[in-house]
Amino acid sequence: MLLVIRVLVEESELRSSLTAPGPGGIGYQLEVCTRLNAEPMLIGIDATLGVADNVCDDIEPLNGLRHIPDGGTSGWNLWRGEI
């Protein structure tokens, strides 16, 4: 089963993430894209993501796969376990 959840981010949180140091900050992510000559695909703050019902289970590994965002989705899908 795949649950689809909507993530809403407060504007102040979004602003602070733009300048956050380290991998969590958008600035850092943009630097990585530049270094790897990759086009960044930022998502809207109201985009949805797919989360499998086993994502909270104690199963390794935790997987994430991103498709090209489409129709209000982030393109991200998360699940646990071997493929």
pLDDT value of residue 61? 92
**Bigger pLDDT: 45 vs 61:** 61
Rounded CA-CA distance 31/80 in Å is 29
pLDDT value of residue 16? 58
C-alpha distances in Å from residue 77, one per residue of 7, 13, 52, 69: 13, 23, 8, 11
The pTM of this model reads 0.58
With 50 as the cut, is the pLDDT of residue 5 above it? Answer: no
Q: Is the Cβ–Cβ distance between 63 and 78 less than 8 Å? A: yes
Rounded CA-CA distance 3/7 in Å is 13
Could you tell me which of 2, 1, 3, 5 has the C-alpha nearest to residue 47?
A: 5
pLDDT band of residue 66 (cuts 50, 70, 90) is confident
